[in-house]
Copies of this chain bind each other. A is one copy, B any other.
């Protein structure tokens, strides 16, 4: 087990900024339930605790960070609104949080984003600006909007306010299921897992935090192995929310506090979605189901380092999946 002493100021966020975030946002967010299934426990031979962030406002955990960012702005900043670029859930979440404060949200969305995620942005009165699918086009477009409107750029993950907001999941989860000894978290840009790991390891230094990552976008696994941020020229996975690369604020946390990255095949993600639907009765998007796929994977099950992970928190990070897409992937 790694040294988990977390000094204030060492990382982009800490337990204080996370507790502050929780105080700031708790009247706006849902305290999402933790559900369990004896069928899935038997299947995995562990006790699993599913934190249902798919029931969060906007359909994903992203509302926590977005809400913290929006309500951290002073009135003068807030008046000019916010801008972001996102493959979807952060965009919807930021739109919803901005709407609740009555300020504009400008959202740069890549043309290949899933329809239901774009619909959510529009539903929450976000102003959509389309970009190409590349990260460069997304960033350039967002910068241009910020210059023209004065809107504050809220990065989807490489931002202290966002990381602190996502960390509030651990505060709730460890209160709802204090027996948890391990948390498995989807990894993309690292905002979620950074917040979760910083909070959880401050509250209980012995807890394990494992990342779950699709094989077709395994930059975090490669980065951990190389000891530096690796970015991939392209990604290929059904988990559309997990295509981003680590940022300068999230990488140190992933490097130091994430105990391992479990790499999962897309077929196993689809199977995990099916189990969530059929057994848990919960609609989970591919990115959200990856934690269950990871705990069922051979690389987790057969690894002696994890054989005493008996009480495992799994973050069902989001539920924004078109029913047709779920069905198409399911019957293949």
Binding site for B on A (CB under 8 A): 30, 33, 35-36, 38-39, 52, 54-55, 57, 59, 116, 123, 274, 277-278, 280-284, 319, 323-324, 326-327, 330-331
Neighbouring B residues of A30 by C-beta, 8 Å: 35-36
Neighbouring B residues of A319 by C-beta, 8 Å: 281
Q: Which of A116, A277, A284 has the most CB of B within 10 A?
A: A277
Report which of B33, B36, B274, B281 forms a contact with A54, defined as CB distance below 8 A: B281
5 CB contacts below 8 A, A to B, read A55-B281, A281-B319, A282-B283, A283-B283, A323-B327
Neighbouring B residues of A323 by C-beta, 8 Å: 274, 277-278, 326-327, 330
How many copies of this protein are present in the complex? 2
Q: Taking the nearest CB of chain B, how far is it from the CB of A201, in angstroms?
A: 27
Complex CA gap A51/B324 in Å reads 26
Neighbouring B residues of A277 by C-beta, 8 Å: 283, 323
Complex CA gap A201/B41 in Å reads 38
B35 touches A55 (CB 8 A): yes
Additional A-B contact list (4), CB under 8 Å, known A33-B35, A277-B283: A35-B55, A274-B323, A277-B323, A323-B326
Complex CA gap A278/B320 in Å reads 7
Complex CA gap A280/B54 in Å reads 8
Complex CA gap A323/B324 in Å reads 10
Complex CA gap A278/B120 in Å reads 10
Neighbouring B residues of A324 by C-beta, 8 Å: 327, 331
B57 touches A38 (CB 8 A): yes
Neighbouring B residues of A330 by C-beta, 8 Å: 323
